[in-house]
Structure 1
Amino acid sequence: MSNVKQELLRKIADKSAVVGIVGLGYVGLPLAVEMAEAGYKTIGFDVQAKKVELVNAGHNYIGDIVGDKLKNMVETGFLRATSDFDFIRDVDAVAICVPTPLDKYQQPDISYVKGSTESVAEHVHPGMLVVLESTTYPGTTEELLKPILEKSGLVCGKDFYLAFSPERVDPGNKQYKTKNTPKVVGGITKDCTEIAAALYRNVLEGGVYEVSSPAVAEMEKLLENTYRNINIGLANEMAIICNRMGINVWEVIEAAKTKPYGFQAFYPGPGLGGHCIPLDPFYLTWKAREYDYHTRLIETSGEINTGMPEYVVDRVMKVLNKNKTAMNGAKVLVLGVAYKNDIDDYRESPALNVIDHLLEQGAETTYYDPYIPEYKHKGKVHTGAKELTDDMIREADIVVICTAHECFDYDRIQKLAKEIFDTRNAMKNVQDRSNIELL
């Protein structure tokens, strides 16, 4: 065992290692708190000064982290934040947790990963571990990060260590958090994997699964979310077919769930939301073209899911037509713009596209979401209602439920509304269904 590796493993074992987290969003901040709580002095970096200020004040801005937990880590000196990238000089391990969006051509935009790696490379030093957690296409760690970091003159696997470990954050999940979700780790070399796995095992409780390379770990993450994308696409197509046949798709799924093997329930909805499931498959389809392969199944599911907001508005129009109400000028109340229930995250939320389509059709559209008082979409700021009043529900020609927040009083909504289009089966327990239509 080399002296460099031995010294780094010692620091990880006795928790004298200093850990850096680049990016303090939904992935980076929970990871930073867990690192600090495990006993590692942790430094978080973000380009947004407001986030740095909030962290250093002990204020949580992400629902999945208990505020007192963050505050305690700051007050005890185990966690601090900075906007100065020179902090890399002082860390023994750094995790890169920056966004990996798509560009306007639906192709991977890894500029944040590239820029962060270049900044790390300016301060990379012997005996340092670098881990990429941002979701990306297979080959990124080895083909992009490794050459950038080795421009320093240091050799990967000998002087410093590099691995990929995909984030598995699920905002709003009440059972699985960063701490108890199993971690997958794949390093450039066996030593890289061993060192990265050692760090995560000292911090997390969900276990660490080691794979043979970063590419396997990168592909594993894409498989996770492509699997969900495709199966949600199937559920959405089933919803469309069942509606035409006059069959309740939600009842069909509940019946199928009774089979103890061979079936996992996925549910239809107004489309896909969140940063992962709608975007990750595009990373795979883009990379597959390099190998002259057309990902037909993945792209077809993407088309179905992308078309759901427009399908929802078409169904809304048909409900209004039954009451001889034109969409143009109709008062439509949308409940929920978060991409899933009980969170304040509206990234890629299908509700935003539903609202856009309603406005394009001339509907007088308002929304209410207790978690999201306003949102920005396509350069415009949309402000929601401050509270859900009885008059607001009564005056709407139709109420469209896009997010099934548990805090909504569905019995009250049913009693007051003229018509309801429920895209989430949120009103499944409401007895009087005379004015409810399901997706």
Structure 2
Amino acid sequence: MTTTTTSSPDTAMHDPATVLRERIENRTAIIGVVGLGYVGLPLAKALHDAGYPVLGYDTDRNKVDMLERGETYLHHLGDDLTKALSTSDRFNATADASRIGEADVVLLCVPTPLGPHREPDLSYVLASTRMVAATLRRGQLIVLESTTYPGTTRQEMLPVLEETGLVGGRDFFLAYSPEREDPGRQGTTTSTIPKLVGGIDAISGELANELYTRVISQVHLVSSAEIAEAAKLLENIYRAVNI
């Protein structure tokens, strides 16, 4: 006697990368933005304006409530941004961490302050990574946007995510794309500031690139997450020296 099993067309005909790429291309991929501060909120708006359904997450319930009412808490952005999001059926803000699992792509836009000895404080990055790991599923793409040192994405985030039993680059995808917001600079927006993307492997980088090229006018795919991480630090050093 033989038995047969059935599976969905996605799992039977396509690997996770192919499925995600198709969703990104046709703009049905749900994009989760973790951290709705001066980096995450403009990014959420840019993704929304590019046609994607966006799920914004923040631990601050007050921010979520203000977004739902169309009120701003980042005054340099004005009310138009929050009003546009609050009235859209393609944007939802939440303080419920369990909903992160709904997203096909999760972008982490959390702080990376310096510790008491001027060392990088990764507590927000690691807390967010653990939160994502709690609902991690096959086919998700995770992208870190926070400023950090070379090796963070691969050496710190990847092991936490792989504790789920899923394998990076096969079951889920992981990349780094440094935020480049400059709130004090006039005439620039999230979608017009050039962006770097690098993955823990080729497919992770390519998938992240597929998303960002549909949102940002100029995107440069580099060969690894470490290169993108190092480039961000060099940019910050250049700014610090020349200001």
Give the match's secondary structure for 1:199.
helix
Pick the aligned partner of 1:218 from 224, 229, 236.
229
Asked if 1:132 corresponds to 2:132, the answer is no
Return the TM-score normalized by structure 2: 0.91
Pick the aligned partner of 1:105 from 104, 117, 121.
117
2: CA distance between counterparts of 1:180 and 1:214? 22
Give the match's secondary structure for 1:209.
strand
Q: Which residue of 1 is the match for residue 10 of structure 2?
A: none
Pick the aligned partner of 2:129 from 111, 114, 117.
117
Give the match's secondary structure for 1:212.
coil
Contact 1:100 1:134 in 2 (8 A): yes
Give the match's secondary structure for 1:6.
helix
Pick the aligned partner of 1:81 from 84, 90, 93.
93
**Deviant stretches of 4+, over 4 Å:** none
Contact 2:67 2:85 in 1 (8 A): no
- In structure 2, what residue type is equivalent to 1:222? L
Give the match's secondary structure for 2:174.
strand
- In structure 2, what residue type is equivalent to 1:204? I
Q: Which residue of 1 is the match for residue 241 of structure 2?
A: 230
- The Cα shift of 1:65 comes to 3.1
Higher relative CO (Cα under 8 Å, sequence separation at least 6) belongs to 2
Where structure 1 has 5 or more consecutive residues not aligned to the other structure, the ranges are 233-439
Which range moved further: 35-44 or 120-129?
Answer: 35-44
Equivalent residues in 2 for 1:33-432 (5 A)? 33-205=45-217, 207-232=218-243
Give the match's secondary structure for 1:179.
helix
- The Cα shift of 1:63 comes to 3.6
1: CA distance between counterparts of 2:46 and 2:76? 12
Contact 1:37 1:78 in 2 (8 A): no
- CA offsets per residue over residues 338-375 of structure 1, 9 Å max, x none? xxxxxxxxxxxxxxxxxxxxxxxxxxxxxxxxxxxxxx
1: CA distance between counterparts of 2:133 and 2:187? 37
- In structure 1, what residue type is equivalent to 2:207? I
2: CA distance between counterparts of 1:126 and 1:5? 10
- The Cα shift of 1:172 comes to 2.5
1: CA distance between counterparts of 2:76 and 2:40? 12
CA RMSD of aligned residues (A): 1.4
Number of equivalences: 231
Give the match's secondary structure for 1:15.
coil
Return the TM-score normalized by structure 1: 0.51
- In structure 2, what residue type is equivalent to 1:57? R
Q: Which residue of 2 is the match for residue 343 of structure 1?
A: none
- The Cα shift of 1:40 comes to 1.1
- The Cα shift of 1:2 comes to 5.5
- The Cα shift of 1:21 comes to 0.6
1: CA distance between counterparts of 2:90 and 2:131? 24
- CA offsets per residue over residues 67-86 of structure 1, 9 Å max, x none? 22331232121112111111
Cα distance change, pair 69–25 in 1 and its aligned pair in 2 (3 A): closer
Which range moved further: 110-119 or 71-80?
Answer: 71-80
Equivalent residues in 2 for 1:16-27 (5 A)? 16-27=28-39
Structure with max Cα Rg: 1
- CA offsets per residue over residues 205-250 of structure 1, 9 Å max, x none? 2x11011111100010000010122233xxxxxxxxxxxxxxxxxx
